[in-house]
Amino acid sequence: MDANQLTTTAKQMVADGKGLLAADESTRTITKRFGNYNIESTERTRRDYREILFCTPDAAEHISGVILYDETIRQEASDGQPLVKKIQDAGMIPGIKVDTGAKPLAPSGEEKVTEGLDGLRERFQEYYKLGARFAKWRAVIDVGDNRPSTQCLKANAHALARYAALAQENNIVPIVEPEVLMDGTHDIDAHYRATEAALREVFTQLAEQNVLLEGMVLKPNMVLSGKEASKQAGPEEVAQKTLECFLRTVPAAVPGAAFLSGGQSDQQATENLNAINKLAPKVGAPWALTFSYGRALQDAALRAWSGDNDNAETARKAFFDRAVATAQAARGKYAA
């Protein structure tokens, strides 16, 4: 493990005013999104769409790295160059999603645990050769009656920590993503309690697995009201609750947190991130607080493209505009 390489890469990932593009949708997920715009999902159309995003001029001014799916990290661009090289040449860092998805947690099956540890060391070695310098593993934690359970929290945190240790062993920065879902009718206080419990357990397990905190990036949820809650917290309350929770649970040694959008609209995700970064200096937050967005960066571009490469420039402009706005929010300087 090269601690210097890991810490340098982690800092680059959360550099001031920059964040991550999450383009790691599984084939099933991107096919579903394509379907919303009547776009056929083939290996070529998926490549074409992602190439549009990766080759957007000046994207690297606002995007530090790109999370890829296994199919994508192996693909070539339309000119025959590897997509990974396109990303590198643009000044961004390639990353890779490595978990194999959330599966029912035995014995009840009511909660989920993320799988993918088998053979992970060997996969990391291959991904490093393919150009990946960071990775992502997502745990899914539900909020509801008697949820999350201690069993769910411990199982997911342990898997996250083992993944992170294996990543660092292979000089790959682990993105640690314990996502406490916003699905449900719960209020923001219930989401706060679940998020606090999840983060406490995750950092306990990371310590037990000797993970270098300076060489990782946290990908957390914001503390939010449930999607179906009758009362929806505004950006200022989201910021206050999120930072209060982090100050109680996230060690200062972690260089940064790249928030997931987690089902928020692009506008909501931007406004909440902006509020968090406006408040952060006032409460002494020691970390960079940026973004790792998928839909919140991509939806406008996907709609503009609609499967027609003649719309590539329009799609690039839509993506770039969202990247600019989100990067402004990462500095607390976004104005709607």
Taking only the tens place, the pLDDT of each residue in 172-222 is 999 999 999 999 999 999 999 999 999 999 999 999 999 999 999 999 999
Per-residue model confidence as pLDDT tens digits over 272-290: 999 999 999 999 999 999 9
**Main-chain dihedrals φ then ψ at residue 118, nearest 5 degrees:** -60, 125
CA triple 181-142-235, angle to 5 deg: 30
pLDDT of residue 295: 87
Least confident of 58-62, 145-149, 310-314: 145-149
CA distance 115 to 207: 21
What are the structural domain ranges in the chain?
3-329
Q: What is the mean pLDDT of residues 44-63?
A: 96
pTM of this prediction exceeds 0.85: yes
Q: Is the pLDDT score of 336 beyond 80?
A: no
Active centre residues (catalytic): 177, 219
List the structure tokens of 13: 């990932």
First to last CA, the chain: 44
List the structure tokens of 180: 């406490």
Q: Is the pLDDT score of 124 beyond 90?
A: yes
Q: Strand pairing partners for 112? A: 104
The arrangement of secondary structure in 3-329, i.e. its CATH architecture, is Alpha-Beta Barrel (3.20)
